[in-house]
Structure 1
Amino acid sequence: MAAAGAVGLPAASHAAGPPVYDPNGRFDLVVSEVEMRRNAAGRMLIARIYQPKGPGPFPALLDLHGGAWNRKDRLAEEPMDRALAASGLLVVAVDLTVAPEAPYPACVQDANYAVRWLKVNAATWNGDVSRLGVYASSSGGHVAQLLAMRPRDPRYSAIPLAAAPDIDATVSFVMMRSPVSNTFARYQNAERRNNEGMMRNNKVFFSPWETIHEGNPQEILERKEKVTLVPFLIMQGALDDNVLPEMQENFAKTYRAAGGECDYRLFENSVHEWVAEPGPQTDKARDVAKEFIARQLKG
């Protein structure tokens, strides 16, 4: 493992527009890890790099892991990351601060920093960030929504990046599996189910408690806050009892009403983390994600 040095913005890759991407591409990968930054708790946050072998440059994608804000790391979506990278994408999965280390908005700050850091360093791994995308799962989807909707929020951009102090954390599109789009509704669902672990995870992360409303993507839209609206893809399991389909459907409807594009896909016979297991619905999720990326890069 080596530390990734700042190499400067890959401006040359922007000149010809977004790189060509074929969702049916097949590439071998080089997988490596680099140190990104040390968080306030003293833990080094690592970035895992999935780099296609080929001339490139390859479109870049940042992966934000889930884990109910309280656990997991950059390895959480390894099968999806490998599948996407093998189609011709530079995929970078990063560790996020977990709630026992620091509550909201620490992990959103990590994500904001990671976007800026990747914009500076992607060329090191033959990546192109002219249309940088995000893939995120579950609570990572919540982080991704806040990241995309509030890219210049000073609360989220509080961690300086010395190599590029003026770069921002805007992204071009976001793909999510089972995102926590309505934090308070999810907590109420946990109460109904008497899921003490889920309730505890919420209370550790949203401290003080009122931040469960301040940092709620659904309520942000309902309050008609001024936000950035980039294209979203939401992939939702029909059998998910963690984040209910009706929550996602309502969020997608509200996001579209605010002027955003939201491609909502319901996966039958699928629970919260269905993409962790091989099967036809997992294959379908990968294909849907690749097709969505291709549309964004052509747009």
Structure 2
Amino acid sequence: MASQASDDILVDDMAYLEHGGVPLLLRLYRPRGAGPFPLLAEVHGGAWCRGSRLDEDLLNRALARRGIVVAALDFRMPPQAAYPASLADIHHGVRWLKARAVSWGCDPDRLGLMGLSSGAHQAILTAMRPHDPRYAALALEGGEGIDARAAFAVLCWPVIDPLGRYRYAREWEASGKPYPETISRVLPDHLKFWGDEDAMAEGSPVRALERGEAVATPPVLYLQGDQDVVHPRAQLERFVQGYRQAGGALTLRWFEGEAEGFVNKKPDAPSTARAIDEIARFAHAHSGTAVAAP
């Protein structure tokens, strides 16, 4: 499909899956050269209901310039389909990427998942439940022996507890106190995607840990601004505690003075440069590769 090139990276759009004859696309960002390179499957945000593979274009180009292959996935969203359809698409995308990783100079066994906000929620849920039959429901032709296990995950301000965030937003809206416009916008999106609170609880990484669910715990890099009121800090703290107690290694990075989405909203800020460097170092460290100069 469409291909772009610059002096330092290659960018291609390609179909990785079809539903009813309609293709789902991913955008692949590749450094030039033979590798070896880390491989990141990137899941965009948008409260599960909005956005596309193009949303993190600047971030993904910056990571490709640091020697990382990034695949930004489109997936089904409401009104086309609700939970768990997007998780099935992402799971299939991970396996599709692993099947082709060697041709891009990547090790399929070291693929990582990355997401922002609701995309980070879906990234870590995929990483924690790589063998969930609902998520693994879409067969990969010729890929019967390939699974969706992730070697690591990068979480940028995830909606780490969908039920908790939904109730938090409802309480804030009902309080009559001033609140960010985002709070009102995300409430209907929660219901469009999840349908009800039971589903929000079932698909909550925090609550899965607190229920004692047997989950995979690959190494995690967790990034969040200390002024982020859209992704409550108390829910972050519960996840960090639960993930570490379950045996997972988790690196938490706070960004002073930053709110949600700062990487996209403030591309030239020092905090954004630091976040990109943190992600690049983490991906290379867990892929056994060397960080490239941007």
Unaligned runs of 5+ in 2: 174-182, 290-294
**1:76-99 residue CA offsets vs partner (Å, 9 max, x unmatched):** 111111111111111111101112
Distance in 2 (CA, whole Å) between partners of 1:151 and 1:137 is: 19
- Corresponding residue number in structure 1 for 2:292: none
Alignment of 1:43-122 (within 5 A): 43-122=22-101
Aligned match of 1:229 in 175, 196, 217? 217
Q: CA deviation at 1:123?
A: 3.1
Distance in 1 (CA, whole Å) between partners of 2:99 and 2:9 is: 22
Distance in 2 (CA, whole Å) between partners of 1:239 and 1:144 is: 23
1:282 equivalent to 2:272? Answer: yes
Distance in 2 (CA, whole Å) between partners of 1:159 and 1:207 is: 22
SS in 2 for 1:294: helix
Distance in 1 (CA, whole Å) between partners of 2:281 and 2:216 is: 23
Which amino acid in structure 1 is aligned with residue 279 of structure 2?
A
What is the TM-score when the length of structure 2 is the normalising length? 0.89
1:32 equivalent to 2:20? Answer: no
Q: CA deviation at 1:285?
A: 0.4
**1:226-254 residue CA offsets vs partner (Å, 9 max, x unmatched):** 11110111101111121022221221111
Q: CA deviation at 1:166?
A: 2.3
Distance in 1 (CA, whole Å) between partners of 2:284 and 2:146 is: 25
- Corresponding residue number in structure 1 for 2:157: 178
Distance in 2 (CA, whole Å) between partners of 1:254 and 1:130 is: 26
Distance in 2 (CA, whole Å) between partners of 1:167 and 1:183 is: 29
Alignment of 1:240-255 (within 5 A): 240-255=228-243
Contact 1:237 1:245 in 2 (8 A): no
Distance in 2 (CA, whole Å) between partners of 1:66 and 1:43 is: 22
Distance in 2 (CA, whole Å) between partners of 1:166 and 1:297 is: 21
Distance in 1 (CA, whole Å) between partners of 2:48 and 2:33 is: 36
Which amino acid in structure 2 is aligned with residue 29 of structure 1?
I
- Corresponding residue number in structure 1 for 2:144: 165
Aligned match of 2:249 in 261, 265, 268? 261
Q: Which runs of 4+ in 1 moved over 4 A?
A: none
Distance in 2 (CA, whole Å) between partners of 1:197 and 1:63 is: 23
**1:147-199 residue CA offsets vs partner (Å, 9 max, x unmatched):** 01110110100001012122111010000111111111111121123233211
* Cα gap change, 1:2 to 1:275, in 2 (>3 Å): closer
Distance in 2 (CA, whole Å) between partners of 1:123 and 1:2 is: 22
What is the TM-score when the length of structure 1 is the normalising length? 0.87
Q: CA deviation at 1:2?
A: 6.7
- More displaced stretch, 263-272 vs 123-132: 123-132
Which amino acid in structure 2 is aligned with residue 285 of structure 1?
A
* Cα gap change, 1:192 to 1:204, in 2 (>3 Å): same
Contact 2:68 2:280 in 1 (8 A): no
Distance in 1 (CA, whole Å) between partners of 2:278 and 2:233 is: 18
Contact 2:38 2:284 in 1 (8 A): no
Q: CA deviation at 1:43?
A: 4.1
SS in 1 for 2:286: helix
Distance in 1 (CA, whole Å) between partners of 2:34 and 2:139 is: 32
Distance in 1 (CA, whole Å) between partners of 2:279 and 2:27 is: 20
What is the alpha-carbon root mean square deviation over aligned residues?
A: 1.8
SS in 2 for 1:210: helix
